[in-house]
Amino acid sequence: MKNLRHVQNVGSAWSNSLPILFLAVFVQVVVNFGWSAASQIHSKRIPIGAIFPRAAHSFHIKSAFRHELERHNLTSQANIFRLERLETEAHPHDDYGVSRAICSLISKGSFLLFGQLDRSSFSTVRDFTSALNMPYVTIGSPSNYNFLSYYIGEPATTAHSRTSDRLQPHVLPQLHQLQSQQRPQSVDNDNFLLYLRPSYDRALIDVILDYKWPKIFYVYDNFEGLYRLEKLYQIKNRPNSTMKIESVRLSNVDDSYMVLRHMDSFEPAGTNKYIVLDLSTEEALVSVLKQIQAVGMNRGGYHYLLGGIAFDEIDVDDFKHGGVNITGFSLINRTETAARMVEAEWLKLNSSNWPGAGNESKLKLEAALAMDAVTVMTRALGNMLTSNPDEFRDIFRRGLLYGNLGTPCRTDERAPWEKGQAIMRNLKEVNLHGITGLISFDEVGHRKDYTLGVYELTLNSDIKEIATWHYSRGLTKVGPPEKSEPDEKFEGEPLNRTRIVTTIISPPFLYKKRVEHVGVPPTSDRLGPNGLQWFEGYCAELTVTLAELVGFDFELKLVEDSKYGAKIDNGTWNGMVGELATKKADLSVAPLTISSIRERVIDFSKPFMNLGISIMIKKPEKQKPGVFSFMDPLAYDIWACIVISYLAVSFVLFLVSRFSPYEWQMDDSKDCPDTAVVMPSYTNDFTVLNSLWFSLAAFMRQGCDISPRSLSGRVVGSAWWFFTLIIISSYTANLAAFLTIERMLTPIQGADDLAKQREIMYGTLDAGSTKDFFRNSKISTYEAMWEFMSNNVDVFVKSTEDGVDRVRSSKGKYAFLLESTMNDYYNQKKPCNTMKVGGDLDSKGYGVATPIGSDLREPIGLAILQLLEKGYLAKLHKKWWYDKGECVPEDTKGGSSSQSALTLSNVAGIFYILIGGLGLSMLTSLLEFIYKSKREILKQKKTFTEASRPKTRMSTGSTPDRENGGLAKGEYPLSQQVHQQPYHHQQQQQHQDDSHHLLHHHHPSAQGEAGFPANQRPAHTAIVLV
């Protein structure tokens, strides 16, 4: 029984524990499945650490990196793996900040790093990445820093130790520990550094050797420039080399004027100078180029070779017309399809979301390298996962490697990234075509098989590619498009031979003389010995002067087809350009615009006249001064403020006078009706009307019979006096100009005003460069103007004369867009009713054209500069535009005396105000008279005639007594007036000064009063002498 009971107990125990056992097994399965699923999920996530500089000018690098990374995560390859961005910031010059950034990103599990690199942080980055097997992809230059340390007599390890002394104490042990670990022996083996930016050292030397410069000035500002200079010295020291080198180090690139001036005067005048500018940054290069312009070293005879591989990003347009040559390198070939597509997408980005992109921001080299860096990393990682999908499966575990999510940076034992070598090996094996061309790497992580474009800027031409430099093949020259070689027929021909000068009729540049003095002009287009007896104008005189300066005879010839020159369908040119291109003429002196497409087939001199597209409108009528023009010196809002100030001051003056006890004064001159006791009363001069009168008198700079007594009232008055002083002075200063000048109000002031309105029509010639300018413009204002003109085709005219006539006959409702030279010319022609408004919409120039390779090109160019410096061209322009004009200049019309004299229309308003004031005073007086008479009618029960008769006589002074020399009743002098009152109301009132005395007091008597008979006694009266 016991055994049976024991078996039953055991069975019961097993039956009770079985559910728990099943539950434990289920939990274990779920956990294992969860870990497997999590591993599968995390295996698709690959974190990339990025170190960006804090500077604002580097925002485009961060935007490019992020944009390319997000592009990858949106592609189908994201199903295999996704890139996770881990970011931090550190300046490349701050080796301590860079070391902290690297440790931060490595400890967060970064598979590889991206960032910039320079000499200051090179040692730190190399030591950390080498010790921890962490691949570092950089857009910095390939390192020559070990070489530089030894070159200046300082071993690399010493430099590292000195740098480390500036670090914080808790970082020193780890950096010294990493430095003490094994390093590559070769100075070229950077281990885990991969460079996207290629070196241009060999390209620079190859171009210098190809130019065969006998002597160069090598200008540099950092150790990398010194490294390239050392390589150049190695070439110079070859046995057969004749090259001379003058090295110049700039200690302060922002203040290099004295160094440049010394270089400018180092060689005799007229000697060609060849200068290499190998500077560290684009900002330094731009700063030195600006100083070169200021010193005047942008003239002919100078040839600059710029270091760097982003020549297309530097603005050298200001050097285009100086005669200087500039050569540079560019890594990006912007004509390739891939580069054009990426740049087009870059320009469409929203700059608020992608700083440094959009808003017509050109794709810079650093941004393109950052995009290529992401492409290289994704290609390498994709290759690893394609060959082994489980490559990173066990990497994303929690707590399986040193108890951290990533590789720890601070540990006593070396803890390298276990996948670092495999990732670095796959990075070096990448071979693809990116934005910066073919991308492949050698065994030390440097770019190879890349191509650099060699570009050059010459006189009056845009930047063009002249050669390419390849990593393996070296320098290969490229011929200029459409620019033919100099024709051999010009070589060896004398300058003083007779030259054919082609030109075109275009007043005032060239027009026919009046034939009554010279006879009938010939029918041939050859105009006699030189053609000047039949024609005259600006270009005719300029041709004669050039021939005298250069020393050649000429024959003037009108162009056969009367055209300036345009490219036709078969590829040839018509007009004057075609005659020069086919050598039918030797030069052209005419209003021929300098353009890049024309300069492909002919050469131009320096511009002898600058011009642009301008606006012609009908001259508006001068505005006569208005009746109230005296109010124009001050704006209407100022007048309103003055009125408000006047009322406010009057109110405040009234208020403070009422509250201040010092404005009240005692007045005891009033009688008390019931008693003989004198009762004093108090009065205040500043009533409402008196306050208004005081403020008005002060504003008009006039006196007043009352003044404030209290301190508060005087403060108000003083402030008001100061205010009126400034206002009246300012008004007087402007009044003369507004009364004497007749203003001309134009309805528009420029192109912006035209584009914003629809009342005034505007147009151009139906065919020509002006119409093409608006059609091709990308400026919003000009685009709007072109849209308006294209929707109203009737605004275009066939000729310049038609456009001018339409302006004159449109009553101000049409504006004509034409070149400024013709605008100025027609504005000086009768009936003198057109004018130019606004500035020029573009800038271009007229030049003397010659065939390519002509021996006249340089002599004529120098002659033009000489005439320009002497002021001859300005004098010639004044002669044919203004001295021969038919309109009197505005500043000379009528003389000075007539402008200083005012007419009645200038001051009519003040007369109107005077007349109005007189009328208003008379009306007010009449109303006062009527009002007073009405009050007496009601008080004394009289008729209007009876009440008004005494006042009328008093006003006119027509009483008999006055006429006889006496005084009318009630007109006694104040000191002798007698007040008569009934006896029972008579009272005597004394003043404080006792000036009034009781004279008589009569009592009734039989004989009467004062000798009057009893029957003729007047009523009892009290007589008071006042």
- Sign of torsion, CA 752 757 760 763? positive
Structure tokens at 922: 């008379």
399 Cα distance to chain centroid: 57
Q: Which two tokens stand for residue 879?
A: 């002669």
Please say whether the beta carbons of 200 and 329 come within 8 A: yes
Contact (CB, 8 A) for 590 and 576: yes
Give me the numbers of helices (H) and strands (E) for the chain, helices first please.
30, 31
**Nearest one of 143, 198, 234, 197 to 470, comparing CA atoms:** 198
Q: Which DSSP symbol is given to 882?
A: I
Strand blocks (E) in 796-883: 814-819, 834-837, 844-851
Q: Kind and range of the H or E element at 278?
A: strand 273-278
Q: What is the DSSP secondary structure assignment for residue 1000, as one 8-state letter?
A: E
Alpha-carbon span 144 to 134, nearest angstrom: 21
CB atoms within 10 A of CB 500: 17
CB atoms within 10 A of CB 578: 23
Is 572 annotated in some ligand binding site? no
Q: Annotation-wise, does 130 bind a ligand? A: no
Token code pair at residue 596 = 């890049």
Dump the DSSP string for 263-306. HHTTS-TT--EEEEEE-SSHHHHHHHHHHHHHHT--BTTEEEEE
Which residues, at least 6 apart from 210, have a Cβ–Cβ distance to it below 8 Å? 467, 475
Question: 598 a known binding residue?
Answer: yes
Query: Is 579 part of any known ligand binding site?
Result: no
Cβ–Cβ < 8 Å for 605, 593:
no
Letter string b/e over residues 748-778, b meaning 16 or more CB atoms within 10 A of that residue's CB: beebebbbeeeebbbbbbeeebbbebbeeee
* Alpha carbon of residue 732 to chain centroid: 38
- Asked if residues 826 and 802 have their Cβ atoms less than 8 Å apart, the reply is no
- Is 948 within any annotated ligand binding site? no
Cβ atoms 116, 184 nearer than 8 A = no
DSSP 605: E
Print burial letters for 433-446: b (CB count within 10 Å at least 16), e (below 16): ebbbbebbbeebbb
3-state secondary structure of 434: strand
Please give the Cα distance from 759 to 203 (Å, whole number). 61
Q: In the 3-class helix/strand/coil scheme, how is 137-149 assigned residue by residue?
A: EECCCCCCHHHHH
Residue 769 is labelled as binding a ligand: yes
- The two structure tokens encoding residue 834: 């057109």
In angstroms, the CA 179 to CA 159 distance is 12
Phi and psi torsions of 692, nearest 5°: -65, -40
Tokens of 207: 């171009």
Let me know: does 193 contact 129? Beta carbons within 8 Å.
yes
What are the binding residues?
A: 591, 593, 598, 769-770, 819
What are the binding residues for L-glutamate?
A: 591, 593, 598, 769-770, 819
